[in-house]
Structure 1
Amino acid sequence: MARVRMTVEGTAVGDIALVVASPTGTRRGDPLPLLLANDGPEYSRRVGLVRFLDSLAGAGRMPPCRVALLVPDDRDARYSANADYATAVVDDVLPAVIGRYELSGRPLFVGASLGALSALQSEWLRPGTFSGLLLQSGSFFRPRLDGEESYEHWQRITAFVSSVRRARKPRGDAVVAMTCGADEGNLANNRLMAQTLTRLGQTLDLTVVPGGHDWPQWRAAVCRVLPALVDRTIEPNHRWRSSFATGADATATDRPRFARIDRIGPGAVPSGRAPATQHEAGDAR
């Protein structure tokens, strides 16, 4: 796939870097589905997400799609139920991508651990943005279940999770696929979150797979779950539109934030402060 580095400047959490991978031979104006991934560099390197989607398309199991690999930067600060980051993905990053590439249907959002928590928050705060969510081992911390009280962002995370549990109706109609390792500490809070979202009427499947809170488990779960999620959520006749104006009538504050563009090599991904060491050690974040 051809890859282009973008930097969306001036969001509420600072600049957000990403790499957009497009199928070889496609043009910017070709309407294609879009998949976003928190911890994008790690999903590319450790899961092989871009190669996996490319192979599915090559085998005729799904249409070709673009992948936006979001660089975490200050991961703990951004992904820990930070509403500014969650909304910046929708209000700033997606418009910048849509300003460069034609999109077919609503995008999908993928995340692991804190990245899954953040992906859910993006859809929760901007309901209807995504057609599907793949939430892997989400850090849906609950005081009575999880011993993470010393974590800097504990209060913010538990407050958001509690707000979801107190809800009385769904936020949006995204199809949700959740995965979790059978041997990890987040399994109990993932089961509770799955029960909550199901009670709210969300279409949801929770898949428990062998393994712990680490990239090998997430890679195996992606291969097992993602094809079915893509098949259920592709919207070939739906043209995505954001909540702000992008045409000639847009005001200066309505337009997407400036995005720097740099073309990079076909196999390159930017480095980011991703959680590889923490995950391999079994950390719940």
Structure 2
Amino acid sequence: MNVRRDTKRWSARPPGRGWWFTPIGLALAAVLGDPPIAHTNPAIRAGIVREYQVRSRHQGRNRHVWVYTPPGYAAAPDTALGMILAFDGGEYVTAIPLPHLLDSLLAAGAIPPLVAVLIDDASGASRLDDLANRAWFADFIGNEVVPWVRGRWHVSRDPRRSLITGSSAGGLAAVHIALRRSDLFGNALSQSGAFWRGNEAANGPPYEWLATQVARWPRRAVRLWLEVGSTESRGAMGGEAPSILSANRALRDTLRAKGYDVTYVEVPNGTHAPEAWVARLPAGIAALMGHG
């Protein structure tokens, strides 16, 4: 795979007031969705983010990837760290500053040090070609991206120490890939997951393909966090398809019927927007990747 290294340091300081990253604060954030994470704390040590290019054999082109390593990473070369993989990488270094959130969670003792891999996705149809129940993309993540990461950073091979996450179509992809590749990912965190979609990026019926597959597949060793806003109740495709809210409820019920460990958070007045997701993302990460 071709790799391009950018040695720029992640220089902005992480947001967050320490209280919100205590167990009580995280629990409230999961319900209320409004922790004041935009405030800076210069006392918190910042990790490093570098940019790379990863070759996709399926697409025949390079994919843009950011990799975050936590403070002190270089001083502990023999320690295998947990890993987070997120989609829409460009958004997760800007509007949803995942590196900042991890710095703050680490400083508060809510999580151990983690390596984060942020995969860039395009927009429109190209984005859905990645994220909307696409088997090739699950293969790309499992057979190309994860081995590439393991070959360059000291990350654990224990799926219980790996989390895959995303929002909207990225949330759909996170759960889809975790269930397909539970040998790699033992935790999936979805925010406003677009679970109404059909198979292989289909916009038409049959809808809710993933829930149908969950009912058929054997139960996998995956813990899940599903979060959705109460305002996400408008049917997709002009009302022809289920809403994000109803599709999340249906997937929750199907997963629980299969015996999955599912945390379901329905946020009062929660919206389908980055500012809503960033407010609650720390709670999900801490719940799935925390020390306990």
Q: TM-score, normalised by structure 2?
A: 0.70
The offset of 1:162, in angstroms, is 5.2
Match of 1:84 among 136, 159, 176: 136
Q: How many residues align?
A: 225
Q: Is the 8 A contact 2:211 2:251 kept in 1?
A: no
Secondary structure of the structure 1 residue equivalent to 2:207: helix
- Partner in structure 2 of residue 56 of structure 1: 105
Distance 1:128 1:157, change over 3 A: farther
The offset of 1:165, in angstroms, is 4.6
4+ runs deviating over 4 angstroms:
none
Distance 1:63 1:88, change over 3 A: same
Q: Is the 8 A contact 1:183 1:212 kept in 2?
A: yes
The offset of 1:169, in angstroms, is 2.8
Q: Is the 8 A contact 1:167 1:200 kept in 2?
A: no
Matches of 1:211 and 1:154, distance apart in 2:
24
Q: TM-score, normalised by structure 1?
A: 0.72
The offset of 1:168, in angstroms, is 5.2
- Partner in structure 2 of residue 139 of structure 1: 194
How far does the alpha carbon of each residue in 1:124-160 deviate from its partner, in whole angstroms, 9 at most, with x for none? Answer: 22233212110111111168xxxxxxxx731498373
- Partner in structure 2 of residue 34 of structure 1: 83
5+ long unaligned stretches in structure 1: 144-151, 235-285
Distance 1:131 1:162, change over 3 A: closer
Task: Among all aligned residue pairs of Structure 1 and Structure 2, give the percentage whose two residues are the same amino acid.
Answer: 27
The offset of 1:69, in angstroms, is 0.8
The offset of 1:117, in angstroms, is 1.0
The offset of 1:21, in angstroms, is 0.7
Q: Kindly provide the amino acid, as one letter, of the partner of residue 100 in structure 2.
A: R
Matches of 1:103 and 1:169, distance apart in 2:
28
- Partner in structure 2 of residue 122 of structure 1: 177
How far does the alpha carbon of each residue in 1:77-112 deviate from its partner, in whole angstroms, 9 at most, with x for none? Answer: 111111101221111101000000111233100111
Q: Is the 8 A contact 1:110 1:134 kept in 2?
A: yes
Q: Kindly provide the amino acid, as one letter, of the partner of residue 70 in structure 1.
A: I
Equivalent positions of 1:153-168 (< 5 A) are: 153-155=202-204, 158=207, 160-161=209-210, 163-167=212-216
The structure, 1 or 2, with the larger RCO (C-alpha pairs under 8 Å, 6+ apart) is 1
- Partner in structure 1 of residue 67 of structure 2: 20
5+ long unaligned stretches in structure 2: 1-46, 234-243
Matches of 1:98 and 1:154, distance apart in 2:
35
- Partner in structure 2 of residue 71 of structure 1: 120
Q: Kindly provide the amino acid, as one letter, of the partner of residue 128 in structure 1.
A: D
How far does the alpha carbon of each residue in 1:21-70 deviate from its partner, in whole angstroms, 9 at most, with x for none? Answer: 10133126542111010112212211221111111111222211111111
How far does the alpha carbon of each residue in 1:173-213 deviate from its partner, in whole angstroms, 9 at most, with x for none? Answer: 11100100110131111000011111111110110113211
- Partner in structure 2 of residue 179 of structure 1: 227
Q: Is the 8 A contact 2:182 2:221 kept in 1?
A: yes
Q: Kindly provide the amino acid, as one letter, of the partner of residue 278 in structure 2.
A: R
Q: Kindly provide the amino acid, as one letter, of the partner of residue 139 in structure 2.
A: T
Secondary structure of the structure 2 residue equivalent to 1:47: coil
Secondary structure of the structure 1 residue equivalent to 2:248: helix
Distance 1:230 1:41, change over 3 A: same
- Partner in structure 2 of residue 193 of structure 1: 251
Q: Kindly provide the amino acid, as one letter, of the partner of residue 229 in structure 1.
A: L
Secondary structure of the structure 1 residue equivalent to 2:196: coil
- Partner in structure 2 of residue 247 of structure 1: none
Equivalent positions of 1:247-258 (< 5 A) are: none
Distance 1:162 1:130, change over 3 A: closer
Q: Kindly provide the amino acid, as one letter, of the partner of residue 49 in structure 2.
A: R
- Partner in structure 1 of residue 277 of structure 2: 218
- Partner in structure 2 of residue 207 of structure 1: 265
The offset of 1:4, in angstroms, is 2.3
Matches of 1:121 and 1:142, distance apart in 2:
12
1:2 aligns with 2:43: no
